[in-house]
Structure 1
């Protein structure tokens, strides 16, 4: 299966009533495990390079890693820039082989966010790839609070930017380690009543699994971003591997032991979102 764009995996999800997992990567070990999980589930997957990932590994390197995994996978794989904050960063991701650009102007005034996101969407579409935008700031656990998305503003944002997917703020929070928050379903219904664009939930680790699954099947939410719970699985596996023999020092041997636990955790995430066990 060749590498896919975001639109190529989200449009079937919108039509058929499921969601695709946007899995936040930090390095080779987790991204490889995520693709293995997607293949085991027969489902598409979105590999996401967020700011902390890019601070560790340059975009041109990440692009090659994502594309190598995609081009050897049996399922569709999207190479996605998560939370791009500048035009230059988005251009670099495009030049590095990414197939989806997420521009985050959610902290900016609405008109500025629309103008800048529309420019990124035009850039992406001219190159034959996809664009995701964000309307309504999604906060961080222990940090800045969220600004809920206004449905009327969401309709305008989707219409004027022509994005392929729209991230919304409906009670979701980045970096949340528990699943006690839950999403504002009334706000979700109000937003989807005004637009047909696939919706995205950032901070999906804080959303109860049952609610993720229900919304994947019954709403326009076609993508859940999941990072924290998978990083927790990786960290637990890594600590166990090191503690088993404190004298070990070969990092390749140690990191190898994170693969199966992370793959199994990712399989659980993917399965709950209901993607059919078949190619798109």
Structure 2
């Protein structure tokens, strides 16, 4: 069994100059492909259940799926709640076997975000698991605008919440379908100068691969969340599997054909974080 907490995989990453991928899952097909890729690359992986995943599959089922994959895996697997918005949701994830809780209070006033994140971090730590929080707001491509992380506020947030990892807004956006952007190195350096907590980049699909490598090797960024990039790979593979034969109808057969392409795409992603 290789079930791990977020702190257990980010500690070595920070010390040794690499990052761990937080891979956004939507179902069995992608999560098993992610684990297969991690085993092929010999690295840990964080399986993430975000809001859209939880809307499709109950948390208690996702917890069992993640833990089953960890039981069979040869590399560390973190069962991570991504963007939990309430205490009750985080408590349900904890009770469902998750080993890491990400509470997103980034839309709230600073004091409220700190107080609520601290309460969830305390709950997580009492149960022997990890907590990630977010300071600043990471926006959405063609949607809500970002609010960049203030370094002084980030230092206060890290100190007062006790989180194991801190998501920051430094030019990253969710749901970006290309890598035309880039992160603000000066803001990252200013944050890192004031706090030593492991840093997390949400919306990692929009960060150029070369910058992922350099930041993993040279900063305290220890986790990149990747969703859109791999959803695109799955979508292309599924479309090819359906269109290759108009008489195909067996869902299991069709979905089986997505496995190898998603494993290959995931292995490429994992290599960008090895520093």
Distance 1:57 1:67 in 2: 15
1:4-23 matched pairs, under 5 angstroms: 4-23=4-23
Q: Does structure 1 residue 212 correspond to structure 2 residue 237? A: no
Shift, 1:147, TM fit: 0.2
Distance 2:199 2:14 in 1: 9
User: Counterpart in 2 of 1:152?
Assistant: 152
Distance 1:71 1:78 in 2: 11
In structure 1, runs of 5+ residues without a counterpart are 276-280
| 2:21 match: secondary structure | strand
Distance 1:96 1:246 in 2: 40
Distance 1:231 1:200 in 2: 20
1:220-239 matched pairs, under 5 angstroms: 220-239=220-239
| 1:91 match: secondary structure | helix
Q: Does structure 1 residue 250 correspond to structure 2 residue 245? A: no
1:1-280 matched pairs, under 5 angstroms: 1-274=1-274
Shift, 1:247, TM fit: 1.6
Shift, 1:246, TM fit: 1.5
Greater mean alpha carbon deviation, residues 243-252 or residues 24-33: 243-252
Shift, 1:2, TM fit: 2.2
Shift, 1:71, TM fit: 1.1
TM-score (norm 1): 0.98
Shift, 1:272, TM fit: 1.2
Distance 2:191 2:164 in 1: 15
How many equivalent pairs are there? 275
Shift, 1:19, TM fit: 0.2
Distance 1:271 1:8 in 2: 20
Q: Deviations over 1:106-130 (max 9, x none)?
A: 0000000000000000000000000
Distance 2:81 2:72 in 1: 20
In structure 2, runs of 5+ residues without a counterpart are none
TM-score (norm 2): 0.99
Shift, 1:64, TM fit: 0.2
